[in-house]
Amino acid sequence: MDAALEYATLNNALRLSGIWLGYRVLVAVYNVSPLHPLHKFPGPKLAAASYIYEAWYDLVKGGQYTRRIKAMHEQYGPIIRINPDELHCNDYNFVEEIYPSVTTRIRDKNPHFLASFTPPLTVATFGTRDHETHRERRSGISKFFSRQGMLRYEPEIHDMAQKMCSKVLHLSQSGHIINALEPFNCFTADAISQYCFGEPFGFLDQPDFHKNYTRAFESLNTTIHVFRHFPIMRNTVALMPALAPFLGPDIQYLMKSMNEIIPGYVKKAQNNHSADTRRVFSEIMDSPIADEHKTTFRLSGEGWSLVAAGSETTAAALVHITYFLLAQPETLARLREELKNEDPHKLSWVDLEKYPYLHGVIYEGVRLALGVPARLPRIARTEDLVYKNRGFHYVIPRGTPIGMSAYVSHTDEEVFPQAEEYKPERWITADGKPDYGMEKYIMSFSKGARQCIGMNLAFCELYLVTAIMALRILPHLKLHDTVYEDIKYDWDALTPQPKKGARGVRLTSV
């Protein structure tokens, strides 16, 4: 012990720091040298040299790296190097290579991306790194979220959507100012909870909309970049349950929901797996996936990920749609005219899908709400990818993470002229039909075999709620002191964030 203390001197500490610094400089020199496998890819030399460049934009400038990546594409072309090990693409023609829909082409997730998350999210399908484990975990839940599955669930979604809209109308007419994100989050969280666990969280049954997961998700968002650049900080999460009484109420609620509430629902559903209602977590126990994927801990991660992925994202798209329908009265008038023969209390998702303008209203909302704004990289473990387009020719070595970003894609003026504007017409063909061909440009749900599993649920909710709102409640509501900057994407956490101080879409009675 004494001998060890003898070495713990300031001089030795300085020596060690010097060695470490020297090593980091050597690594940076190697990263930009012709010896590095990615040296031919264009991009700022500083970004190629060290992760500090990315961390600067994420941590110091506050979630600005995706915007920086967009600017880099303008300067350097469709494939660029954005950190020592990773590439970024801005070309739709390469989507099927990066995000293949066939599961025979192996795609892993990037550890640098996954470093943002902590257990139990890391054992959810979303947080799974390798292709093979992902296939097995996803197969345990995918059948529940098929179009057929959602058509069976639709009547319950319909009732919850009606209930939410009636309550918004009632509260606004009693003089309340409503932050639109709250009712939408209550609705989407109850809908996913009812489907997964066989009972809703009960958010729609409270007298107002105040209790929901909005602030818990916000707390989760604050840690994303810190954990990505300092993965060691993830260990603090293990201490959180003990520290919870000293933390803010939002973090407390987040911890409670991750460690108690969701596992509680999962356990109840697991024990109830003989029930005849078709619920995800009661039936998952009978699915042919390995028992190691059926533990309460792992299923709690799956449950939490489904709740987080299934509520915040769809709610954000509904917020955008609500804002633009109220800010652009001519858009709402055209939508109401299109839907005028529908009974607002008896709507059907399949029937609603046929309306071209409604299709445009929804896709424009999904485009501008972005889903996940930043890159979602994939690693082709077993094959080199060849990019040959727009006068560029690159061979992307196997094992290299490469991704695309919804923000970069959705603001591409070549595909979406006047991209900042909300224009449902851009989703309609010249002969007045929904332009399904344009859907390929939407990156909100990611693409390929690891794309969003909840797209059918999301669209069922979006079609029903948008139509109910347009027909039943929006004519009785107006925006309260709200401008686009109150929701417009400014920086990224996991989900898109508006400028600091933005107050969301606030609704009041006309």
Angle (CA) 73 77 82, round 5°: 50
- Smallest distance from ligand HEM to CB 175, Å: 31
Nearer to ligand HEM, 317 or 468 (CB): 317
Backbone phi, psi, residue 222, to 5°: -70, -20
Residues lying near ligand HEM in the complex (CB under 6 A) are found at 125-126, 138, 145, 192, 305-306, 309-310, 313-314, 317, 366, 371-372, 376, 444-446, 450-454, 457-458
Token pair in block for residue 496? 């898109």
- Smallest distance from ligand HEM to CB 153, Å: 11
Task: Round to whole Å and give the CA distance between 49 and 301.
Answer: 35
Nearer to ligand HEM, 194 or 313 (CB): 313
Task: Round to whole Å and give the CA distance between 339 and 236.
Answer: 52
- Smallest distance from ligand HEM to CB 142, Å: 8
Task: Round to whole Å and give the CA distance between 54 and 52.
Answer: 6
Nearer to ligand HEM, 49 or 467 (CB): 467
Nearest residue to ligand HEM, scored by beta-carbon proximity:
454
262 near 303, Cβ under 8 Å?
Answer: yes
Nearer to ligand HEM, 183 or 252 (CB): 183
Nearer to ligand HEM, 171 or 372 (CB): 372
322 near 364, Cβ under 8 Å?
Answer: no
User: Which residue, chain included where needed, has tokens 């350097």?
Assistant: 76
Token pair in block for residue 463? 């079609």
Which residues, 6+ apart, have CB-to-CB distance to 259 below 8 Å?
241
Backbone phi, psi, residue 319, to 5°: -60, -45
Query: Rounded to the nearest 10 degrees, what angle do helices 356-369 and 329-338 cross at?
Result: 140
Neighbours of 428 (CB within 10 A): 18
Nearer to ligand HEM, 372 or 379 (CB): 372
Neighbours of 506 (CB within 10 A): 16
Task: Round to whole Å and give the CA distance between 302 and 283.
Answer: 14
- Smallest distance from ligand HEM to CB 340, Å: 27
Nearer to ligand HEM, 88 or 509 (CB): 88
- Smallest distance from ligand HEM to CB 306, Å: 5
Token pair in block for residue 234? 């993830």
452 annotated as a binding-site residue: yes
CB neighbour burial string for 330-346, b if at least 16 within 10 angstroms, e if fewer: ebbebbbebbeebeeee
State the amino acid at position 395 in one-letter form.
Answer: V
Nearer to ligand HEM, 48 or 453 (CB): 453
Q: In what order do the strands lie in the sheet with 477-479?
A: 178-179, 506-509, 477-479
Task: Round to whole Å and give the CA distance between 389 and 401.
Answer: 20
SS3 for 211?
Answer: coil
SS (H, E, C) 426-478: HHECCCCCECHHHHHHCCCCCCHHHCCCCHHHHHHHHHHHHHHHHHHHHHHEE
Neighbours of 476 (CB within 10 A): 13
- Smallest distance from ligand HEM to CB 372, Å: 4
- Smallest distance from ligand HEM to CB 131, Å: 11
- Smallest distance from ligand HEM to CB 314, Å: 4
- Smallest distance from ligand HEM to CB 491, Å: 17
Using left for φ > 0, alpha for ψ between -120 and 50, and beta otherwise, residue 211 falls in: beta
User: Which residue, chain included where needed, has tokens 């082409």?
Assistant: 105
Nearer to ligand HEM, 50 or 282 (CB): 282
The per-residue DSSP string of 55-90 comes to HIIIIITTS-HHHHHHHHHHHH-SEEEEETTEEEE-
Task: Round to whole Å and give the CA distance between 492 and 488.
Answer: 11
Nearer to ligand HEM, 449 or 468 (CB): 449
Nearer to ligand HEM, 126 or 253 (CB): 126
- Smallest distance from ligand HEM to CB 219, Å: 20
Task: Round to whole Å and give the CA distance between 475 and 16.
Answer: 68
- Smallest distance from ligand HEM to CB 149, Å: 10
Which residues line the annotated binding site?
Answer: 452
Which residues line the annotated binding site for heme?
Answer: 452
